[in-house]
Structure 1
Amino acid sequence: MTRTTGTAHNTDTDLGTVWLEQLIELRKQGMQIADINPVSALADIIGEQIDRGVVTVDQLRQLLDAHAGQLWGQRVANLRMQTGLDGGDQTLPDLNKQDISRTAYRAVFTAHPVFALRPDVSAQMTEHADAGTGTPPPDAFAPRDAVTLDDEHAEAMQALQNARTAVNDINADILRQRRAAHPQGWRDVLPETVGVSTWVGYDLDGRSDISWQDSFRLRLREKRDALTVYHQTIMDSGLVASSDAMADIAARLTEELTRTMAHIQSFDIGDAKAD
């Protein structure tokens, strides 16, 4: 393997150009020699240059900060493009002649979020995508601490909750459109134009941090979260006071939610005793 560790140029721009050229060359070599890891090899080269005083740590940080800013802007722009926030038409098309009970689009969540970014950084990136502007926070792309099973589950559930909220908002717009066009029969058809499906697995094989108690405990948490959303939605509708049917549904949800909370507590107590 050919590695160049010679004197690097002084400016950060030159450093980036030289290292990029070296990475491209290392990748070419990696296509021929399986043992070559281009990124690790480049890291070794940079480390040697720092040891020899050719490059300073401050220069490296400045270059990384510049690249982080560019990458952040690309990620934000990509989010805006995917969600239609980059100038695309965001109005709901006329669906009055469409069969809204038939699904036109369905997203399937595997419930495995990408853990490359910290949760607070991911949230800030989405805020910047919504606003169309913003600078990355310090160390936005720094490595995360160890991700626990509870961390995985919490982030997966947040993603699913965001999807549920989006689908509910779309369905509300569809129903408003149907009510304006069909005041007498707008309740006859349930909108299912957009759907969300999930595939969540708690495999015990291959992981030492998942027990059968975890599988039950996390499933119960999912049930609690779903019941909470349903109950809160009904209460926010303002129909409980004027509709006996809605009041009965709210009461049954409250009863089931109380029962589920008790089940969750029993598993939490069991975990505490096991510890």
Structure 2
Amino acid sequence: MKNLIPIVYFGILLAATSTLQAEQKPFESREKTGEQEVFVTVNGTPLAMNLYQFLLGSRQQDSTERQSFDNSFDAELHRQQAAKDLVMTELLAQQATQLGMQESELVKVEMAMAEKTLLAQLYVRKLMDSIDIGEAEIRQYYDQQNEQAMYRFMIWRTSDEDHAVEILNTLKAGKGADISDQDIIETPWLRDADIAPEVNDIVRQMGVNDFAEKPVFQDGFWKVIQVIDRQTMARQSYEEEREMIRAELASVKLDEKLEELAEGASIVFNDVHVTQPVK
């Protein structure tokens, strides 16, 4: 069920870390007092203050980022725009209701999906709150990291292994001019993290202009690999990387919890309508 995880995970996390966290305290205080303060009344329909605050909260990250680099950002104007958008949304919703659009199958499906998505977001947030990343775990991860390297490669590809060996021997003998350039690739800079682990293990031991000892089979081709440039970037300090590592470890643990949830569920696709994801 691993392939089910990204489908759920992407849609959930986009909103879970901003909308649900923003303006949380005002919601809690109203729940305790039972108050339903009216923010605005549109054509006789009162809209509660918490709707306005929810809308502001959903835009909080964007407004914070804009304030950090835009000296002309007007916070009051931002709040006024949110109020205007809330009123216009209500006006449009009223017009749609008068036309009976809320009874359409499309609206019913989207409302059902919106409810499920919100519940999923809330549950993911609960899972995230339960994840504890200790200082020792962060330090261990940091200490095990290698310095990040970047490479540029020249790659000769062929579907025949014997021909790949022939190309490699010809190149090592300095007779590259005798090889057709029909299927030669010069790559842009690639981070070692973006290189397949089995290939990275090979090229990490190579210097500039070195060839891999033997052709590598990958993506349906036999590849002769030469490192044509390499850069090693110094690792940042522990304090600089600490929070990024914490977030990465939390993400990994969340993935594990979601995978465990999917693997423990009974999931049966109707093959008439749905193609099952590859496991």
Whose strand proportion is higher, 1 or 2? 2
Higher RCO (CA-CA < 8 Å; seq separation 6+): 2
Interval containing the TM-score (normalised by the shorter chain): under 0.3
TM-score normalised over the length of structure 2: 0.21
Q: Which has the larger radius of gyration?
A: 2
